[in-house]
């Protein structure tokens, strides 16, 4: 009986004991090693062999670039010359401009200085009287441009101007036209006046 009890008690103890836990291999919980290690002999500024590189880099053609630049410059220069000839120089450009324009060859201005003078009207208003003639001495009909009257002061500096439109815009060969103009609002500093063709 004692042997039977001792066997049953031993069996009961064996049933209460939890099963042993299997230990995992030490390598399973160890920290993984990096797949690649930097070579201490390499420098930091050397790029990786896996960096992106263009498959094909085109070489610059210096001659072609200079040719394109020269063509662009020539086009801009031609456009500037055309614009100046068509519209004239802009007012803001600090370049001295000719006072009078170039007239048609064959057109002659005859404005005697003694006929260009200031007059005072009966009502007290002061005017400047312009008198003269334009003659076509060419062998063909010519267009008559406007006449420009430039007022200058005692120091020969321009202080104002006035455009005179002739009565006839075309003159046949040998034909003349009389020009008479009464200019009001004379600049106070005006001392005398010069006459010429108006610029285009």
Residue 149 located in a structural domain:
yes
Domain range for 133 is 107-197
132: domain CATH number is: 2.60.40
Residue 145 · residue 199 · CB < 8 Å? no
Residue 27 pLDDT level (bands cut at 50, 70, 90): very low
Q: What is the pTM of this model?
A: 0.48
Residue 32: is its pLDDT beyond 60? Answer: no
Question: How many structural domains are present in the chain?
Answer: 1
Lowest mean pLDDT among 6-20, 21-35, 114-128: 21-35
Average pLDDT along the chain: 76
Residue 67 pLDDT level (bands cut at 50, 70, 90): very high
List CB contacts of 153: < 8 A, sequence separation 6 or more: 159, 189, 190, 191
């Amino acid at each position: 009986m004692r042997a039977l009890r001792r066997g049953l008690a031993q069996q009961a103890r064996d049933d209460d004991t939890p099963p042993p836990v299997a230990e995992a291999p030490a390598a399973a919980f160890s920290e993984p090693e990096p797949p690649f290690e930097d070579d201490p002999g390499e420098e930091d500024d050397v790029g990786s062999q896996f960096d992106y590189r263009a498959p094909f880099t085109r070489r610059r053609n210096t001659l072609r670039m200079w040719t394109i630049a020269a063509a662009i410059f020539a086009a801009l220069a031609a456009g500037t010359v055309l614009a100046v000839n068509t519209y004239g120089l802009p007012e803001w450009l600090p370049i001295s401009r000719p006072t009078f324009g170039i007239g048609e060859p064959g057109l002659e201005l005859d404005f005697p200085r003694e006929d260009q003078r200031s007059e005072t009207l009966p009502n007290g208003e002061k005017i400047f009287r312009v008198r003269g003639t334009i003659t076509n001495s060419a062998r063909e009909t010519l267009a008559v441009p406007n006449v420009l009257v430039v007022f200058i002061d005692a120091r020969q500096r321009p202080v104002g101007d006035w455009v005179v439109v002739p009565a006839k815009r075309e003159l046949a060969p040998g034909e003349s036209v009389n020009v008479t103009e009464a200019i009001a609002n004379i600049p106070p500093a005006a001392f005398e006046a010069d006459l010429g063709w108006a610029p285009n």
